[in-house]
């Protein structure tokens, strides 16, 4: 056999060995990754909320179908968590909070599996903060999506189950996850970890752990990171911080600004959906202003 053919033969042998461990279903599922990525981008760029509402469940089920074939696919776990969380937050929570709670739990299940693949399994995650903290310190920036979506879905699940004291006891672990995500990459999804802490510290009175100054700083930093392009920052600031402070003028000003932002000003197409949703939520909050204050 000529020497020059050996590298080619070795490559074929190595490839064959790697493929032995993959079923046909796994190969098909992994081959669909570019299409799923394009689907996520297309949804982010959607401006018609009714079209998005109708499309998201099918997209979620497609990803979950791929996970049946390839359950260890971390990228799909993150996308499933994002999709279920986004659907619940955008279209379910305000009308059907009980159903939304179940959806957030579903998003959390997906995100937890991704976090386990990153090195923080259920035993560590469900232990105390003292056990969790050293495990989190071992993670690097590659774990940020799993950290962020686990904490986000977990926090919303707790928020919709406040009548269960056990849920409240879980908040320190949620906070630890998001603090680690923030430390590793504060810019992830337009600084959304800062939005999380803006809500976290702004939605509670100081006697219950709230801190309006810290909340305002986190909202300011999120706006700065996103170059003031993500309108949901202003919506959440009004809904949680201004309302808790009883600052009706700030509430009204922020939401009016969002509603009146021209579409041409939304220069990042990947924020089309989020900003269209923000305008809808801002209008709904303004309609409730009298009863909220």
The predicted pLDDT at position 26 comes to 72
Separation between Cα atoms, residue 235 and residue 250, nearest integer Å: 11
**Tens digits of pLDDT across the chain (293 residues):** 333 433 443 433 333 333 445 677 676 667 666 778 888 999 999 999 999 999 999 999 999 999 999 999 999 999 999 999 999 999 999 999 999 999 999 999 999 999 999 999 999 999 889 999 999 999 999 999 999 999 999 999 999 998 888 888 999 999 999 999 999 999 999 999 999 999 999 999 999 889 999 999 999 999 999 999 999 999 999 999 999 999 999 999 999 999 999 886 557 999 999 999 999 999 999 999 999 99
List CB contacts of 63: < 8 A, sequence separation 6 or more.
36, 76, 79, 80, 83
Is 148 within 8 Å of 108 (Cβ atoms)?
no
Beta-carbon neighbour count of residue 193 at 10 Å?
Answer: 29
Phi, psi angles (nearest 5°) of residue 230 = -90, 105
Q: Which of 202, 200, 203, 267 is nearest to 231 (CA)?
A: 267
**Where do we find the tokens 């998201």?**
56
The predicted pLDDT at position 266 comes to 55
Q: What is the pLDDT of residues 69-104, one digit of tens each?
A: 999 999 999 999 999 999 999 999 999 999 999 999
Question: Model's pTM, two decimal places?
Answer: 0.89
List CB contacts of 73: < 8 A, sequence separation 6 or more.
29, 30, 66, 67
Separation between Cα atoms, residue 52 and residue 254, nearest integer Å: 25
């Amino acid at each position: 056999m000529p020497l020059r053919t050996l590298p080619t033969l070795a490559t074929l042998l190595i490839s064959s060995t790697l493929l032995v461990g993959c079923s046909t279903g796994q190969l098909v599922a992994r081959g669909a990754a570019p299409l799923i990525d394009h689907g996520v981008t297309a949804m982010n760029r959607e401006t018609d909320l009714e079209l998005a509402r109708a499309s998201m469940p099918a997209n979620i089920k497609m990803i979950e179908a791929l996970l049946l074939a390839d359950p260890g696919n971390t990228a799909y776990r993150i996308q499933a968590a994002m999709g279920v969380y986004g659907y619940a937050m955008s279209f379910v929570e305000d009308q059907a909070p009980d159903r939304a709670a179940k959806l957030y739990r579903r998003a959390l299940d997906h995100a937890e599996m991704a976090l386990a693949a990153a090195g923080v399994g259920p035993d560590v995650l469900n232990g105390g903060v003292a056990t969790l903290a050293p495990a989190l310190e071992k993670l690097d920036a590659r774990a940020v999506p799993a950290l962020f979506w686990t904490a986000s879905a977990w926090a919303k699940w707790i928020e919709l189950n406040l009548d269960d004291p056990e849920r409240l006891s879980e908040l320190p672990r949620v906070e630890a996850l998001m603090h680690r995500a923030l430390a590793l990459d504060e810019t992830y999804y337009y600084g959304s970890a800062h939005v999380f802490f803006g809500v976290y510290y702004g939605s509670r009175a100081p006697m219950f752990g709230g801190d309006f100054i810290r909340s305002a700083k986190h909202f300011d930093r999120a706006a700065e990171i996103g170059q003031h392009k993500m309108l949901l920052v202003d919506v959440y600031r009004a809904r949680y911080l201004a309302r808790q402070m009883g600052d009706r003028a700030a509430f009204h000003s922020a939401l009016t600004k969002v509603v009146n932002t021209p579409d041409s000003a939304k220069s990042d197409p990947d924020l089309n959906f989020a900003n269209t949703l923000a305008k809808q939520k801002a209008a709904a909050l303004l309609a409730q202003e009298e009863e909220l204050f």
